[in-house]
Structure 1
Amino acid sequence: MSTVPGTQVIGRVAAVLRAVSGAMPRGLGTTAVASATGLSRPTAHRLLASLAAEGFVDHDALSGRWVPGPELYLLGAVAAERYDITAIARPVVRALSDATGESAFLSARRGDETVCLLSEDGAFPLRSHVLHEGIRFPLGVASAGLAILAFLPDSTIERHLAGVDLSAYGDAHSPRRLRTRLAETRATGWALNPGLLVEGSFGMGAAVFDASDQPAWALSITGVEARFSPARRPELGRALLEHAHRLTQALRGR
């Protein structure tokens, strides 16, 4: 099958932009961008320099790090008119944090990934710092990605598991073990990440559905292990499902 001319370049540029935006607020150095995208360092630097010339990224000369540029903000402001749900979601994310005492987040599905859109710090003084606005994970990684993946069609799940390598996130993300966790998520309605990304940092997530009943977003909470005891998880799960349902209904009524 023939490919569209320039497809490879566009794919590389997209990967670079995702890597830079996902590393906010600190940004990434050129070597880190190359590592995150699988590009050689010279190729990564050439693309970053070209993007900087067009205003899509900025380079901090002191730190050597790359950060999103003003053109991305302008394009994002235009796209937000169609895609931004944060105004509707923010009160629900805040209410979830207030109800649980944990840090709460909203993540959106973007293809085979989730991207964190909103965060609200919890009242409990010890917090997990796995998630932050802009960070991306493959579907099936972190509680939000697990919650979304669990409620996609079986054929989509199998295609995803066959097409991605999640070994970098540990043995718990092997296809066999992920299928078990997906089944558990479907049974309870909420997903559990028991310290699989950072030891001692737990997370739980619940899917938020669009008008076509597809899991397009997820609410999640994170905190230290002691706050997610087996006795407390059902209570946290009920709070997640209640707020996820509230947000689903609000988005359908907008």
Structure 2
Amino acid sequence: MVDAQDQSAGPSTLLKGLKVLSLLKEVWPEGLGATEVSRRTGIERVNVQRLFLALESSAWVRRDKAGKRFFSGDDAEAIGSRLWTPPDISQELILAAMQGMRKLAKQLGDAVFLIGRDANESVGLHREIGDYPMQILASFPGKRHPLGVGSAGMALLAALPDKEAQAVVKANSPRLEEYGGISPEMIHRLRINTRQRGYAVMQNYAVSGALGVGCALTRDDGTPVLAMSVSAITDRMPIKRQAETARLLRHELDNLRGLL
């Protein structure tokens, strides 16, 4: 005869596991440790740890390198199945970048974008939307632009050696007329300004009345890896806020260096 308590143990454990998974999805991409999950769910910490082990063995959750923070496993797999991701970039770096983006979007209220480079194009990898009523959403995961169109793409272009950057702009010249009359000469001037300033400031040529600020993450040899940008309506981006936005972007990107 099966004890009634034993009969209820299975469903109870299943419900707890589903509760943990639901919470990890809610906070994704940040992830949570056992203590925080216990506090939010009311499940004892030792039981949370047991649930983590069981869920991890079935790939429902994954943990960071330190082994103390857990993420929803199916969401992590979704990142890996995007149409395109930069070569030699770890999933862990992308997840960490997304965590920083979410923080920035909450802090600034405007949309934040993560952009990679694929040859002569910039490619959207992720975006986080702020809470300001008017959001500038000109890019999204998988969206491609000629490299240098958009503040993040310009940050990537400006980080390239002059000869390589000039070759990219030349190859993209036939496509630039699609972006509100921007010319190769204008791209070159903006590229020089970006290098001198240390961050890109660009009118959004896909959305009228918008302006973006972008910064690039580079390797030790100067090779650009990723760029992060914030876009807002022009009235929300006076010069002082441009500089402050760039400072915040740079801080988040510098936090990623250890994952390169």
Question: Per the shorter chain, which TM-score range?
Answer: 0.5 to 0.7
Q: TM-score, normalised by structure 2?
A: 0.62
Partner of 2:98: 90
SS of the residue 1:180 aligns to: helix
Partner of 1:19: none
Partner of 1:223: 232
Deviation per CA, 1:195-252, whole angstroms, max 9, x where unpaired?
A: 32211122111001235431121001112121112232111121122222222x1322
Distance 2:222 2:190 in 1: 21
Within-5 A mapping of 1:46-195: 76=81, 83=89, 84=91, 85-165=93-173, 166-172=176-182, 174-195=183-204
Distance 2:250 2:108 in 1: 12
Distance 2:98 2:80 in 1: 22
| Distance verdict in 2 for CA 1:157–1:101, change over 3 Å | same
What is the one-letter code of the residue matched to 1:163?
Answer: A
Of 183, 192, 198 in structure 1, the residue corresponding to residue 207 of structure 2 is 198
What is the one-letter code of the residue matched to 2:197?
Answer: T
Distance 2:258 2:123 in 1: 21
Deviation per CA, 1:114-165, whole angstroms, max 9, x where unpaired?
A: 1111111112121012111221111011111100000100110111122222
Partner of 2:253: 244
Deviation per CA, 1:89-127, whole angstroms, max 9, x where unpaired?
A: 111111222332211111111111111111111121210
SS of the residue 2:212 aligns to: strand
Distance 1:239 1:159 in 2: 31
Does the aligned pair in 1 maintain the 2:105–2:128 contact within 8 Å? yes
Instruction: Give aligned pairs, total.
Output: 177
When Rg is computed on C-alpha atoms for both structures, the one with the higher figure is: 2
Q: Unaligned regions of 5+ residues in structure 1, if any? A: 1-72
Identity of aligned residues (%): 29
Does the aligned pair in 2 maintain the 1:190–1:240 contact within 8 Å? no
Q: Unaligned regions of 5+ residues in structure 2, if any? A: 1-77
| Distance verdict in 2 for CA 1:75–1:190, change over 3 Å | closer
Please tell me the root mean square deviation across aligned C-alpha atoms, in Å: 2.4
Partner of 1:36: none
Distance 1:74 1:185 in 2: 30
Deviation at 1:88, TM superposition (A): 2.2
Does the aligned pair in 1 maintain the 2:114–2:127 contact within 8 Å? yes
What is the one-letter code of the residue matched to 2:231?
Answer: T
| Distance verdict in 2 for CA 1:155–1:239, change over 3 Å | same
Deviation per CA, 1:49-97, whole angstroms, max 9, x where unpaired?
A: xxxxxxxxxxxxxxxxxxxxxxxx89938x9796434222111111222
Q: TM-score, normalised by structure 1?
A: 0.63
Distance 1:75 1:105 in 2: 18
What is the one-letter code of the residue matched to 1:234?
Answer: A
| Distance verdict in 2 for CA 1:75–1:142, change over 3 Å | closer
